[in-house]
Amino acid sequence: MSHYDDREIRDPAERERDLFARLPAQIAHAQSGAPAFAASLKGIDPATVTSREALARLPVIRKSELLEQQKCARPFGGFSAVRWGSACKRVFSSPGPLYEPEGARPDYYRLARALYAAGFREGDLVHNTFAYHFTPAGSMMETAAHALGCTVFPAGVGQTELQLAAMADLQPNAYVGTPSFLRILLDKADEVGVKPTFTKAFVSGEAFPPSIRDAFAARGVRASQAYATADIGLIAYETPGGEGMVVGEDIVLEVVRPGTGDPVPDGEVGEVVVTTLNPDYPLIRFGTGDLSAIMPGMSACGRTNVRIRGWMGRADQTTKVKGMFVHPGQIADVVRRHPEIGRGRLVVDNPGLNDRMTLHCESSVGGDTLAASIAASIRELTKLRGEVSFCAPGSLANDGKLIDDIRKYD
């Protein structure tokens, strides 16, 4: 079987209907079971949220809000619908600290389909080098491998010599971990005369450029990657179809203009926002802070969900100018005020070591009157003076940036 289940190859319209038929119940569940959503979604009738347009009207919840709420309401800030006990199998910590629950359901993070696409099958012995303490990566991969019927050696990180000894004794055929640690293991194995037995690998946590992928393939290891977070679990994954990543099942993925909740057109780079149907941690419009873009067409592997371009950087471009924080949302508000602007980008530089802000605006109109009006909006919304420069529609880079800080202090 070339696909994990039939849901991966169903008609896209059927998937969309299914997601939005299930969404109202998930929103109602979040309102009743997670106090933070009872507050943020107060007055929202779940029965009315049956389309992407309706979903886009709900507020985006970002990690900064999770952190602030967790300081007031331990352990999960009121965003989780599970508490200590049998429904909450583990709790993990991410930098912040930010605490996340792991529910008791099998394959809680839904990564089994990503491992399956990477060639993992029942009977494989998986050498899992992700950490098993504090952060959830080790458990995320182990629970997925178990769902496929794989056996897992919980190697964790470090202790290269002991890991090589285990590889020599157990002969694992599959690796899970960062690409850099796989390279270390393979190089060290060559150095000490241990024959690596990996034929497949699932990597994450770092950049995975084609040069490293090709180097692994030359050594007989086919490696794939996925995009996942501790909060959401699987978001998208690579398949044998090649370019891009296929979005996972049981989530609604949007790409929005950074600093806002406004969806951007397909193909435009923006922040990935995910609504999950996970009943234990029912995150509604969770802003990942990551940049990506929706790709046209479907994967050549036959999976029919939309594809994204993978991780393309961070969306939080907040910077400080003359002692004042300037946020992407403020720049988006400036652009929104003036329909003559297509896209805008605030460039911050410092000629003569003096901070300067220039809002570059795509516009076919331009003119001194419009420039003055835009400059007034910049001052009103940021409390700072800013210059305005017009450019041709479509000329700004499609990289999701609303703020580009290019100051140098040499």
The full DSSP string for 8-19 is GGS-HHHHHHHH
Per-residue pLDDT, 22? 98
- CA–CA dist 198, 167 (Å, integer): 9
Q: Please report the domains of the chain, with CATH numbers, ordered by start residue.
A: 6-316 (3.40.50.12780), 321-405 (3.30.300.30)
pLDDT greater than 80 at residue 192: yes
Task: State the amino acid at position 264 in one-letter form.
Answer: V
Name 97's Cβ contacts closer than 8 Å, sequence gap at least 6: none
Q: Supply the Cα-derived Rg of the chain in whole angstroms.
A: 23
Give the helix ranges, DSSP H, for 326-393: 328-337, 368-382
Strand (E) or helix (H) holding 53: helix 52-55
Q: Check: CB of residue 195 under 8 Å from CB of residue 188.
A: no
Task: State the amino acid at position 307 in one-letter form.
Answer: R
**Segment 390-401, tens digit of pLDDT:** 999 999 999 998
Q: Which of 290, 313, 307 is nearest to 117 (CA)?
A: 307
Strand (E) or helix (H) holding 287: strand 286-292
**Segment 301-356, tens digit of pLDDT:** 999 999 999 888 888 888 888 878 888 889 999 999 999 999 999 999 988 778 89
Distance of CA 357 to the CA centre of its chain: 30
Q: Check: CB of residue 178 under 8 Å from CB of residue 203.
A: yes
Mean pLDDT of the 140-158 span? 96
Task: Please confirm whether the linkage preceding 24 is cis (ω < 30° from 0).
Answer: no
Neighbour-count burial for 166-193, b at 16+ CB within 10 Å, e otherwise:
ebeeeebbbbbbbbebbeebbebbeeee
163 in helix, strand or coil?
A: helix
Token duo for residue 226: 């996925």
- CA–CA dist 137, 350 (Å, integer): 41
Per-residue pLDDT, 344? 95
Per-residue pLDDT, 248? 98
Mean pLDDT of the 28-33 span? 97
- CA–CA dist 348, 325 (Å, integer): 12
Q: Which of 203, 132, 197 is nearest to 166 (CA)?
A: 197
| Least confident residue range of 108-112, 251-255, 259-263, 292-296 | 259-263
pLDDT greater than 80 at residue 177: yes
Token duo for residue 254: 């949007």
- CA–CA dist 297, 324 (Å, integer): 43
pLDDT greater than 70 at residue 280: yes
- Report the half-sphere exposure of 275 (CA within 13 A, side-chain side): 27
**Segment 233-263, tens digit of pLDDT:** 999 999 998 899 999 999 999 999 988 899 9
Per-residue pLDDT, 9? 97
Per-residue pLDDT, 410? 58
Mean pLDDT of the 9-16 span? 97
Who has greater pLDDT, 318 or 53? 53
- CA–CA dist 295, 17 (Å, integer): 21
Q: Check: CB of residue 391 under 8 Å from CB of residue 362.
A: yes
Mean pLDDT of the 207-214 span? 89
Per-residue pLDDT, 409? 64
pLDDT greater than 80 at residue 172: yes
Strand (E) or helix (H) holding 247: strand 245-247
Who has greater pLDDT, 97 or 141? 141
| Least confident residue range of 86-95, 194-203, 207-216, 318-327 | 318-327
Q: Which of 265, 289, 284 is nearest to 274 (CA)?
A: 284
Per-residue pLDDT, 321? 87
* Tally: H helices and E strands in the chain: 11, 21
